[in-house]
Chain A
Amino acid sequence: MPNGRNLSEVAVSSSPIQVEVVSPEGIIWQGEAVGVTVRNVEGSLGILIDHEPLLTVLAPGAAEIIVEDGRREVIAVAGGFMSVFENRLSILTDHAVMGHEISVDEARRGFAKMADMIEKGDYTDEDEHLYNQYLAQIRAGEKYAELHHLS
């Protein structure tokens, strides 16, 4: 029923985006947001209210969620997927860490080690996965630090 749908779309157009970040270990973050920025395989990508339906492959990096009062949540997301549909946005990843839980120094050390192994060509899928996790943590950790020095 196209008419019915249009009406309901008008009615909900000003409501915030329902965001859900899920990993196999559970829901990492859930709430309402006015905007979300993620990094996908093609670059940085911003999602605002009433974005068109989208399904995209994410690259390791920070997902920045702008909550209604202007607060920003930063979450490290090591790849995965994001789907957007009718103001519902879900990020699906096998590894996610909240910004305040990240230790950038630790991530850098881990990253350097993994980068070394990968450069030598002597690595497993597991190592590559860790590499992505550290990369996401560094990116998110830096963003988190930047936000919190400013405020």
Chain B
Amino acid sequence: MPATLRELRERRKSVSATMKITKAMELIAASRVMRAQARARRAVPYNEELIRAVSDVAAHTDELHPLTIEPAVCKRAAVLIISADRGLAGAYNANVIRTAEGLIKRLEEEDKELDVYTCGRKARDYLTFRDRQVADFWMDFSEKPTYKNAKQIGVRLIEEFLKPTGEGGVDELHVVFTRFKSMVSQQVQIVRLLPLEVVEEDSTALATHPTRMSDEYHYEPKAAVVLDKLLPLYIINRIHFALMESAASELAARQQAMHSATDNAKQLIDSLTRDANQARQAEITQEINEIVGGAGALSG
């Protein structure tokens, strides 16, 4: 039996209520993406200065810093997965998790023990639901990460890295995060953060400011100590960058998802309206038929 007029109208009302919500979420996400991008832009000068300083000092010292030493054999690896706290962002979380699963599988095939760290509620939920170990997690800031968040994560992970392998220390650290390419395109990336290689393929900082003659530099205290202070900052800064990119990606993905949800709702409302009109017309026709039939029967 086709839906009655009342049912169709009810359904249309509920869809349009949902549409209002998705529309609002779309607008909110749009304005937040803008802010997230502005924040990312504000961090650029710091990022550039830091990269410049690190490459200057790195060029000056021959000493190997513990954070840059490649272990002979890698026994234990850490993976940091950066996901969102909330869903409703299209395939954003699914993409991150799928890529992370691929990485985890690859590392396990290489016979490495794994410590998984997560950022954002979704990745943690995914893993704990499947009874998988999460070494540590951070959450409730996926849309608006601060430097402090990055610092917390960075300090913890550096500590794990510097621990001897025998005591559960990790030999390498991979980060899975989402690069913000544009409002319509975000790409999940895997970056090996530790041991550190100071190359910045995406930044124009080094291209526009070629490394200066570092021999001329005077260091206070000596270069090795300066490097010792700089490198952790560099790593924290990379994590900060990954968090900010992921936040912008999350919001852009959410905006897009909510935009298509709003579009779908509009289409649904249109077709429900049409169905409702048809049902109304059918009802009227039937009523007329009944009246005409009734009158005919009386006069007959």
Contact = CB atoms under 8 A, between A and B. Distances in A.
A83 B220 CA distance: 10
A79 to B, nearest CB: 9
A53 interface: yes
Contact of A92 (B43, B50, B147): B50
A41 B147 contact: no
A56 B219 contact: yes
A20 B219 contact: no
Given A42-B220, A85-B212, A126-B152, A24 B240 contact: yes
B216 interface: yes
Nearest to B156: A125
A60 to B, nearest CB: 13
- Chain A residues touching B, majority SS: strand
Nearest to A42: B220
A25 B43 contact: yes
A41 B217 CA distance: 17
Given A55-B226, A81-B53, A126-B152, A24 B43 contact: yes
A55 B49 CA distance: 12
Given A42-B221, A54-B218, A23 B229 contact: no
B94 interface: no
B151 A90 contact: no
B49 A20 contact: yes
Interface in A35-56: 40-42, 45, 52-56
B293 interface: no
Contacts of A26: 42-43, 45-46
B237 interface: yes
A55 B57 contact: yes
Contacts of B53: 55, 81, 83, 92
Interface residues of A, number: 26
A127 interface: no
B171 interface: no
A25 B146 CA distance: 8
Interface string B195-224: 000000000000000001000111111010
A20 B48 CA distance: 12
Interface string B44-77: 0110011011001100000000000000000000
B107 interface: no
A85 B218 CA distance: 10
Given A42-B220, A83-B53, A92-B50, A53 B45 contact: no
B27 interface: no
Interface of A: 20, 22-27, 40-42, 45, 52-57, 81, 83, 85, 90, 92, 94, 125-126, 129
25 contacts: A24-B240, A26-B42, A27-B42, A40-B220, A41-B220, A53-B212, A53-B217, A54-B217, A54-B219, A54-B220, A55-B53, A55-B217, A55-B226, A56-B221, A57-B220, A57-B221, A57-B226, A81-B53, A83-B49, A83-B52, A83-B56, A85-B217, A92-B46, A92-B53, A94-B233
Given A26-B43, A27-B42, A83-B52, 13 more contacts: A22-B45, A22-B46, A23-B46, A23-B147, A40-B220, A52-B216, A53-B216, A53-B217, A54-B218, A55-B217, A83-B53, A92-B53, A94-B151
